[in-house]
Structure 1
Amino acid sequence: MAADRATGDERNALFLGIDTGGTYTDAVLWSQARGVVAKAKALTTRHDLAEGIANAADRVIATAEINPGIIRLVSMSTTLATNALVEGQGGRIGLVMIGFTEADLDKSGLRQALGSDPVVFIAGGHDVHGQAKALDMEALEKALPNLARTVSGFAVCAYFAVRNPSHELAMRDRIRKKTGLPVTCSHELSAKLNGPRRALTTVLNARLIAMIDRLITATEGFLDRRGIHAPLMVVRGDGALVSAAFARTRPIETILSGPAASLVGARHLTGLDNALVSDIGGTTTDVAVLDRGRPRLDPEGATVGGFRTMVEAVAMRTFGLGGDSEITLDDQALTPKLKLGPRRLVPLSLLAKNHGSDVIAHLERQLKAPQPGRLDGRFALRTGVPAALAAGLSASEAELHDRITVEPQPLDKLLSSTSQTATLNRLVSRGLVHISGFTPSDACHVLGLQHNWDADAARLGAALFIRRKDSIGRPLAETPEALAQQVHAALIRRSCEVILETAFAEDGLDGPQTVKSPLIERALSGKSGIAGVRIAIDRPIIGLGASAPIYYPAVGEMLGVEARVPRDSDVANAIGAVVGQVRVSLTAEISQPVEGRFRVSAGETIRDFGEEAAALAFAESTLREQVSARAMQAGTDGAEIIVSHDIRAATIEDKRTFVEAILTATASGRPRIAR
C-alpha cells in the first residue's frame, strides 16, 4: 500500500520508530497525517540493547500521553549486527563446504572469518549451467553427532549453488533433521558468483542468528507487556524494511541498519533527492550520498569488521568524530594542535549530571593544586555489562577492574603508576570501563550552545585542560571560553574534512590523501596568496544528529554550499525506521548449456526450454510469483513488482547467438499494519 493511496484511518495510524545508536537510543511516534507526534531519547545499553529500547519507548509513550495499545506498527534500526561483526562476536558455527577444497578457505578472508570454528568438506556441487556432480554425504554423517553438541548453527555453501541449490537444500534438510539447529544456505543470501565470499557471508549470518533472535524476542516481549500488538519491522542495510521474522533468519542484512535509516529519514525530512548526508552522533560521524532519492549502495558489498560481504548496504563512511570525542593535544608541533577522537569519552557535564556533586568536588580539588597533573579532569567507572564478560582478565587487569565501581573515580586517585594507564585502556577496549573527560559536548556547554547537562563541570574541565602548556611553556588558551571556541572550531573543520573525504572517494580519488593536500588546506582555511583556491560540491549537505544545528551551518559556510539541518534531525534515524518501504529483490538466470536448450535457474526452480522466448516468459512469471511471496514474508501485502531484463547476445557472421540473460524482480510496498 503506497503512502499516497493510504486511507484516512491509515494516515492517522500511529507508528513507533526506534534507533539504537552508539550513545543514545531514539524513539519517535509518527503518523502520515501529523508527522512526528513525540520523540524521546535514552542511553543505549550496550550489554542489553533491549533495555535501552524499552527505556526510550516508554519515554516517548509517556511524552505523547497515549495508550500504547493504539500503536499500529513498530520499526527499529539496530547496531547489533554491525557491532558484533566489528567486535568479532557471535556463536560458534559449523561450515559445510560442498564441492570446495581446503585452498578455498584462503580466499576472500574466509579462513580468518572462520577462526577456530569447524569446517566439513563434502564432494558435490554443480557446474556453471547447474549440472550436478556426485554428492557424497558420508563426511557430514560422521561429523554431525559431535557438531550437534558443539555449535549453535550451521552455514552451508555449495559450488555454483546460485545456479542450482539442490545440494544445499539436501544438506540443510539433513542437518535440521539430525540436529534441530538453524541452518543458513548461501543461495538464500546472494545470487552472485564467487563461492568463498558467498561462504563468508553465510558464516557471518549463521553466527548472528542467535544474537538477533534474542534482541527481537526481548523487544517483542516488551511490546507485548505494554499491550502493543503491532507488526515489528527491522531496517535492512540498504534502507528497506523487513519483518522481524524475516530478519531473524537473515540478520547479516541488517548490518549498517542505522546509517541506512538516517538516509531514509534525511530524504523524508528534506524532500531532497540528491545530497551529502552527514550524521553526527556522540561517537561517530557517518557520511553517505543520497542519489535520485535513494541511498547510494556499495557495489562490491558491505565491508564490516574488515570482511567484504555480499550484502547490499549503503555506501557509508564512518569517522571517529562526535560530540563525545576525546580531545588530546598534539604539542610536538610549533603551534599546539587539538586532535579529536577516535575514542569516545563520557562528557564531564554528563558525568556530573548523572553522579552529582562528587564529580564537581574532585574537579575543584584538582584545580586548586599548585601544579597541573597529567590525569586531571579524567574519571573511570564501570560500563555496567554483566560480570561474566570480565572473564579472562590478566592479574593486573582483574585487580584494577575490581577497584573500579559504577560510581566515577578520578584517575589521579585510582592509578598509582604510569603502567596502569595501559591496563586501564585494555579494560576500556574490552567494553568493561568508561573513561570520562573534556569533550566537544562540554565545550558547547561552556559556550552556552548546549544546556542539557552540567555546565559547571564542563567549565571546570576546560579550566583544567588549559593549565597544560605546549613544548615551550605557552598555555593552550587564556580562558575556558577561548579553549571551548578552539574545540568548537576544530570539530567544524574536521567535519568539513570528512565530508570532502567522502566526496573525493565517491569520485574515485584517494579521499584521505586528497584532503591532506596543501590546496585543500588553503581552501578550508580561507587563506589565499596570488592563487586562491575554492571547493565546489554539486549538492547540498544535510546535517543530522542532536548536535547538527550547532555545527553544520558553519560547515556549509566553510564549504560554500547549502547546509540543511531539518527539524527533528536529532531523531532522523528513528524517523527513517518508520517511513521506509519493504523492498526485496530476486534474480533468475537463463543459460544455454548446449545449443538450442535454454535453462532457467530461478531460486529452487530449474527448467529447460527449447525456445528463448518461452524461457524468458517462464523466468519472468516465476520470478513474479517468488518475489511476491518473498515480499509477503518481508512484511507487505500490496507490493508493486518491477522486472528488469539483461539479455546478453553476440552477433557472429550476422547471426545472433544467445549467451545468457539475467532477470531481476523487485517488489516494494508499505509494511502491513495492525488492524
Structure 2
Amino acid sequence: MADSQIENAIFLGIDTGGTYTDAVLWSEARGVIAKAKALTTRHDLSVGISGAVERIVEEARVDPGHIRLVSMSTTLATNALVEGQGGRIALVMVGFSPADLEKADLGSALGSDPVVFLPGGHDVYGRPQPFDVSALQEALLRLKDEVTGFAVCAYFAVRNPEHEIAVRDLVRAQTGLPVTCSHELSAKLNGPRRALTTVLNARLIAMIDRLVAATEGFLDRRGIHAPLMVVRGDGALVSAAFARHRPIETILSGPAASLVGARHMTGLDNAIVSDIGGTTTDVAVLDNGRPRLDPNGATVGGFRTMVEAVAMRTFGLGGDSEVSLDDNAMAPRIMLGPRRLVPLSLLAANHGATVIDHLARQVKTANPGRLDGRFVLRTGVPEQMASGLSKGEAELYVRITGEPQPLDRLLNSVSQTATINRLVARGLVHLSGFTPSDACHVLHLQNNWNGEAARYGAILYARRKDGAGRPLCDTPEEISRRTYDALIRRSSEVVLETVFAEDGLDGPDMVASPLTQRALSGEGGIAGIKLDIDRPLIGLGASAPVYYPAVGTMLGAPSIVPVDTDVANALGAVVGQVRVSVEAYISQPVEGIFRVAAGEAVKDFQEEELAIAFAEETLQGQVRSFALEAGTDEAQVTIARNISAATVEDQRKFIEAVLVATATGRPRIAH
C-alpha cells in the first residue's frame, strides 16, 4: 500500500477502563479526528464500546467502512486476576511433585482446581526423563466435562518442550478444549512460576475470547471490516487472534497504552508519566522511547507472573478521593484516599434538586453533624451479589435505593456507618461526599458538574472542628484550597516515590524523610534542600490540566499536559507497533557438543559457530512467523547475542549462549 494511503487511513482506538470506555479516531495525516467517552459496562463490555464508538463516528461523520484498523487496550485481564475471576482449569505438571505447589504461590492461585502429576520432564541440558501419560489418559475421561481449559508445565520445558507438546496433543485430541503450554509463554527458568503464569493464562482464555467475539460482532454489525489489535502489557500491539491464545500478556494493557500515547503526543523519549483518574494515579518511567519494564515480571492480584509488562506503580489517589482528617492533631491535616467517593458535584449533576435541597438543609442547621455532606445510593449490581449479608447489613441495604439518600436521615446511629462501609466494600453501594473534584469546582478550576453542590459540600466540611474546637476553615474557598494543595502535595510524593524506587532506593521511606518533606515544602534552613529530576513530567488524565502544572512546579521539573491527555490510552492503543521476541539457548552438555534449544527445535552440533548459525536461522524463521500471527506483514528483525565464555589456562571455554530475535513492524491494515 502506498505511503499516502497509509497516512490518510483512519484508525479507531478503544480503551476499556474501570469507569469509562474511551474511543478515538486518528490518522497519520490529521492526528486526532474525534474522541468520546462512555461509561464502561462491566456485565457486557461491548455495550460501553459501542456507546463510545457510535459517538465519534457520528461526530466525525466518518463512513465506518473507511476505518482501516481497530486497536484496543483493556483492563479485563487485570481486573479478573485482581478479583479472582476466571474459568475452572486443570493443571498438568510433568516431572514435578506436589511439594512444588507450595512454591511461587502456585497452590494459592490454583485454589480447588484439579492437578495431574506425571513422571517425565528434562534436565538442564534438555535430556529426557522417563515419561508416562497413563494417569492423564485416565483423568481426561472425568476432567473434560469439569473444566474450561488446561495448563501444562513440564520440568525444564524451556530446554526441551517435547513432553509439553505430547501432553498438549493428547489433551486436544481427547477433549477439544484450549491448552496453554508454559514454554509458549516464557523462556525463563523457575518451573513453579512458569506453571503459575500458565494457569492464569488458561483461566483467562474464555473471558478474553468473549470480549474479542463481542467486539468483533459489534464492528461487523457497524460495517467496520478492519483487523482488530490488542495492546500487550509491554505496550506492543498484537492481533486479537494472538491475544485470544495468550490473554495473560494483556495484563497492564491500559497503563502500557497510556505510556505509548504519552510518547506519541509529546515526542519525548525520556520522561516520567503520571496518569491521574478518579480513583487512582499510575506512575511509570519512559526510557529511550519505551516504557521501563518490570524485570521480575508483572505482579497482579498478588501473583508474580513471568509476563513482561510496564513497571507501573499505582496509588489510591485521584480527583474523586475521599477527603478525611488526621483527627489526632490539634491542627488536623487533610488526607486523601485511598477510597473513592462519588463527588457531590457529580451526584447533583445526575440526581438534581434532591441533593441540593438536603445540602442546603444541613448548612442551615446551627450545629454541624458528623454525617453532613454524605449520601448513599445503590451501585445497581444484580440482586444475587447481595447474598450472604448479615441481618443488620441486609436490613440497611433494603432501605437504600437507586436514588441518593443523606446519611443523617438514613442512619439511626453513628455505629451504622461501619455497616455502610461494609456494603461499600462489597460493591453494593456508593458513598458520596466532598472530594478534590468538588474543591476544584469551588475554585473555578473545573466546571463540568454542579458547582452549587460542590460549594455546599465545602461549607459543610469547613465547619468541622479542629483539636481546639474551632471550625477547620472560615470559608469554602479556604477548605477547597487546602484540599487542592493536599492533592498537589500527595501527587508530588507519589511521583518521587516512583523515581526513588526506580533508582533502587526505598521509595516510601525516602519520601517520608524530613529532608524530602523539607524540599517539597520549600522550607529554608541553614541547609537548603532542592530536588532535581533528570526528565520532564507528563500529566495524563482528564483532570491532569487542573493539577499537573502545579505538581511540576513543586518538583522543579518541566510539566507537560498534552492536548488529548484525556484519551491517552485510546490513542496509545492505535499508534503502537507490533513487537514480538523469541529466544534460543545454547548449552554444552558434554565437551565438544553444542546443544541448541530454540522453541520446539532441539539440535546438537560439534562446532560453536555452526550451533550459533543454526540458532540464528531458526530464530529468524520463528520470529517472522510469530510476527505474521501477531499482525504485521513488514517485520524488521534484529538478533542480540549474549555469549558466556571463560579463559582457563589461556584456552577459551564456552559456557552458554542466549540469542534473542525481535521483530517489529506496523500493524496490518485493511485495504
TM category, shorter: over 0.9
Give, as a single letter, the amino acid of the residue that structure 1 aligns with 2:304: R
1:116 to 112, 118, 122: 112
1:406 to 384, 402, 405: 402
What residue number does 1:674 align with? 670
1:585 aligns with 2:581: yes
Structure 1 range deviating more: 288-297 or 349-358: 349-358
Describe how 1:438-477 pairs up with structure 2 within 5 A. Answer: 438-477=434-473
SS at match of 1:664: strand
What residue number does 1:639 align with? 635
SS at match of 2:202: helix
Output the CA distance in 2 between the equivalents of 1:425 and 1:477: 27
Output the CA distance in 2 between the equivalents of 1:436 and 1:60: 31
SS at match of 1:527: coil
1:606 to 599, 602, 608: 602
Output the CA distance in 1 between the equivalents of 2:345 and 2:421: 22
What residue number does 1:281 align with? 277
Give, as a single letter, the amino acid of the residue that structure 1 aligns with 2:5: D
How many residues in Structure 1 have an aligned counterpart in Structure 2?
Answer: 671
TM-score with structure 1 setting the length: 0.97
1:574 aligns with 2:574: no
Output the CA distance in 1 between the equivalents of 2:560 and 2:19: 23
1:419 Cα deviation after fit: 4.2
Give, as a single letter, the amino acid of the residue that structure 1 aligns with 2:576: G
Structure 1 range deviating more: 82-91 or 398-407: 398-407
What residue number does 1:220 align with? 216
Identity %: 73
2:95 to 87, 94, 99: 99
1:300 Cα deviation after fit: 0.7
Describe how 1:95-494 pairs up with structure 2 within 5 A. Answer: 95-494=91-490
TM-aligned CA distance change 1:540 to 1:526, over 3 Å: same
TM-score with structure 2 setting the length: 0.98
Give, as a single letter, the amino acid of the residue that structure 1 aligns with 2:314: T
What residue number does 1:67 align with? 63
What residue number does 1:525 align with? 521
Give, as a single letter, the amino acid of the residue that structure 2 aligns with 1:637: D
Output the CA distance in 2 between the equivalents of 1:217 and 1:416: 49
Output the CA distance in 2 between the equivalents of 1:353 and 1:288: 34
TM-aligned CA distance change 1:212 to 1:657, over 3 Å: same
SS at match of 2:667: coil
1:573 Cα deviation after fit: 1.1
1:506 aligns with 2:502: yes
Output the CA distance in 2 between the equivalents of 1:96 and 1:424: 44
SS at match of 2:376: strand
Output the CA distance in 1 between the equivalents of 2:50 and 2:312: 28
Long gaps (5+) in structure 1: none
Give, as a single letter, the amino acid of the residue that structure 1 aligns with 2:234: D
Give, as a single letter, the amino acid of the residue that structure 1 aligns with 2:253: S
1:56 to 52, 55, 63: 52
Output the CA distance in 2 between the equivalents of 1:257 and 1:280: 16
TM-aligned CA distance change 1:53 to 1:364, over 3 Å: same
1:500 Cα deviation after fit: 0.5
Per-residue Cα deviation, 1:285-319 (whole angstroms, up to 9, x for no partner): 11111001110101111111111110000001111
SS at match of 2:318: coil
Output the CA distance in 2 between the equivalents of 1:387 and 1:67: 41
Output the CA distance in 1 between the equivalents of 2:538 and 2:469: 42
Structure 1 range deviating more: 237-246 or 434-443: 434-443
Output the CA distance in 2 between the equivalents of 1:391 and 1:218: 29
1:529 Cα deviation after fit: 1.5
Give, as a single letter, the amino acid of the residue that structure 2 aligns with 1:668: T
Pairwise CA RMSD of aligned residues? 1.5
Long gaps (5+) in structure 2: none
1:657 Cα deviation after fit: 1.7
1:31 aligns with 2:34: no
1:561 Cα deviation after fit: 1.3
1:201 Cα deviation after fit: 0.6
1:561 aligns with 2:557: yes
Describe how 1:538-553 pairs up with structure 2 within 5 A. Answer: 538-553=534-549
SS at match of 2:145: helix
Output the CA distance in 2 between the equivalents of 1:457 and 1:46: 29
TM-aligned CA distance change 1:527 to 1:19, over 3 Å: same
1:52 Cα deviation after fit: 1.8
Output the CA distance in 2 between the equivalents of 1:603 and 1:503: 37
1:275 Cα deviation after fit: 0.7
1:405 Cα deviation after fit: 2.5
